[in-house]
């Protein structure tokens, strides 16, 4: 099964790596994609599974406040994190986490390899090594990545997770290259 031209290799990428149009107002560093990362993944001939944007799905494009861009980034990120923890958004978040886990399990069950998951550090939802909380950037995972990590752990699945920052192109590209070396 699946013995055609496909590489059977995947990377899961935060939604905004492929679509900067989805992120909160006044935070885009690129017009469309984080091109350098996308180009590298294309060179590797891996499938790119674009993770859903939890903030867009749970809170909307304006993240529930059209004045969000008027606040300092870290303050707005803290507000977004709190909003994601509210009952209705939290229920939506659980649904999208379950959908991601289902896809991961399907690929693994059918002999595909997942090189890693790429998140966005400082993000209140997609941070891997850092997130926003209490109006500062702190060590730890965003709500979405943490939920994915915990569900994978429950199932005994280990996938390398790294975080990048669109404002740190060179450092981010080096981090992604590490996934290809594993």
Which helix (H) or strand (E) segment is 16 a member of?
A: helix 15-18
DSSP secondary structure of 81-141:
HHHHTSHHHHHHHHHHHHHHHHHHHHHHHTT-EEEEEEEETT-TTT-SSEEEETTEEEES-
Summarised one tens digit per residue, pLDDT across range 22-37 is 988 888 887 888 999 9
Distance CA 176, CA 126 (A): 15
CB 162 within 8 A of CB 116: yes
Summarised one tens digit per residue, pLDDT across range 60-92 is 999 999 999 999 999 999 999 999 999 999 999
pLDDT given at position 110? 96
The pTM of this model reads 0.95
Q: pLDDT band at residue 101, thresholds of 50, 70 and 90?
A: very high
pLDDT given at position 182? 65
Distance CA 30, CA 67 (A): 21
């Amino acid at each position: 099964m699946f013995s055609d031209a496909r590489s059977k290799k995947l990377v899961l990428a935060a939604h905004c790596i492929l679509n900067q149009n989805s992120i909160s107002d006044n935070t885009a560093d690129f017009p469309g994609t984080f091109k350098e990362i996308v180009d590298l993944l294309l060179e590797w001939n891996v499938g790119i599974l674009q993770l859903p944007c939890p903030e867009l799905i749970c809170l909307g494009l304006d993240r529930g406040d059209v004045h969000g861009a008027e606040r300092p980034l870290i303050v707005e990120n803290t507000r977004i994190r709190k909003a994601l923890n509210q009952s209705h958004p939290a229920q939506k978040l659980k649904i999208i986490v379950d959908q991601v886990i289902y896809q991961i399990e399907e690929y693994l069950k059918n002999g595909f390899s997942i090189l890693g998951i790429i998140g966005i550090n400082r993000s209140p939802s997609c941070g891997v090594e850092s997130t926003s909380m209490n109006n500062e950037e702190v060590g730890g995972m965003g709500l979405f990545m943490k939920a994915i990590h915990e569900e994978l752990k429950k199932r005994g699945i280990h996938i390398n997770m790294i975080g990048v920052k669109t404002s740190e192109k060179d450092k981010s590209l080096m981090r992604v290259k590490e996934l290809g070396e594993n």
